[in-house]
Amino acid sequence: MLKGKKILIGVTASIAAYKVAYLVRILKKENAEVKVVMTPSAFDFITPLTLSVLSENPVLSAFSNKEDGTWNNHVDLALWADVMVIAPASANTLSKMAHGACDNLLMAVYLSAKCQVLFAPAMDLDMYKHPATQENIEKLKSFGNEMIQPGYGELASGLIGEGRMAEPEEIAEHIKSQLTEKKLKGKKALVNAGPTYEAIDPVRFVGNHSSGKMGVAIAEELARNGAEVTLVIGPSDITTKVPGIKRVDIVSAEEMYTVCSSEFKNVDVAVMAAAVADYAPVSKADQKIKKKENEFSLSLTKTKDVLLHLGSVKTAKQVLVGFALETENEVENAKEKVKRKNADFIVLNSLNAQNKGFGADSNKVVFVDNNSSLESFESKSKKEVASDIVHKIAKILKSKSL
Ligand code: CTP
- pLDDT tens-digit readout, 138-152: 999 999 999 999 999
The whole-number pLDDT of residue 352 equals 59
Residue 263 backbone phi and psi in degrees, to 5: -75, -30
Residue 241: per-residue pLDDT: 84
For residue 296, pLDDT over 60 is answered with: yes
Alpha helices in 210-252 (DSSP H): 213-224
Pick from 64-73, 115-124, 226-235: least confident: 64-73
Q: Round the average pLDDT of the chain to a whole number and report it.
A: 95
CA of 380 to the centre of ligand 1 (A): 23
**How many Cβ atoms sit within 10 Å of the Cβ of residue 328?**
8
Burial of 165 (0-12, 13-18, 19+ CB in 10 A): buried
C-alpha angle 207/208/212, rounded to 5°? Answer: 115
Answer for the pair 359, 382: CB distance below 8 angstroms, yes or no: no
Residue of 232, 263, 272, 319 with the most ligand 1 atoms within 8 Å of its CB, for mutation: 272
For residues 389 and 394, give the distance between their C-alpha atoms in angstroms, rounded to a whole number: 9
Average pLDDT over residues 218-247: 95
Pairing of strands 204-206, 198-201: antiparallel
Catalytic residue status for 370: no
Ligand 1: centre distance to CA 306 (Å): 8
- pLDDT 10s digits, 314-363: 999 999 999 998 888 999 999 999 999 999 999 998 765 555 556 677 88
Confidence label for 212 from pLDDT (cuts 50, 70 and 90) = very high
Question: Is the pLDDT score of 208 beyond 70?
Answer: yes
Q: What is the pLDDT of residue 261?
A: 98
Strand order in the sheet with 116-121: 33-38, 6-11, 83-89, 116-121, 146-147
Give residue ranges with CB within 6 A of ligand 1: 253, 272, 274, 276, 278, 303, 305-307, 322-325
CB atoms within 10 A of CB 38: 26
Q: Stretch 374-388: mean pLDDT, rounded?
A: 93
pLDDT at 359: 66
Q: Say how many residues make up the chain.
A: 402
Question: Which protein residue has the closest C-alpha to ligand 1 atom 27?
Answer: 278
Domains and CATH numbers, the chain: 6-179 (3.40.50.1950), 188-401 (3.40.50.10300)
From CA 155, how far away is CA 164, in angstroms rounded? Answer: 6
The beta strand positions in 104-242, using DSSP E, are: 116-121, 146-147, 151-154, 160-164, 188-193, 198-201, 204-206, 228-233
Q: What is the pLDDT of residue 262?
A: 98
d(CA 69, CA 50): 24
Burial of 110 (0-12, 13-18, 19+ CB in 10 A): buried
Output the pLDDT for position 1. Answer: 82
Cβ neighbors of 180 (< 8 A, separation 6 or more) are: 1, 224, 225, 226
> Of 72, 73, 208, 342, which one is the catalytic site residue?
208
pLDDT at 185: 94
Torsion sign (Cα): 117, 122, 127, 128: positive
What is the C-alpha to C-alpha distance for residues 141 and 132, in angstroms, rounded to an integer?
14
C-alpha distances in angstroms, 169 versus 19, 32, 127, 235? 10, 15, 24, 23
Would strands 228-233 and 204-206 be described as parallel, antiparallel, or unpaired?
A: unpaired
| The pLDDT value given to residue 356 | 54
234-293 per-position pLDDT tens digit: 999 999 989 999 999 999 999 999 999 999 999 999 999 999 999 999 999 999 999 999
The residue nearest atom 12 of ligand 1, judged by CA position, is 323
**133 vs 118: CA distance, rounded Å:** 16
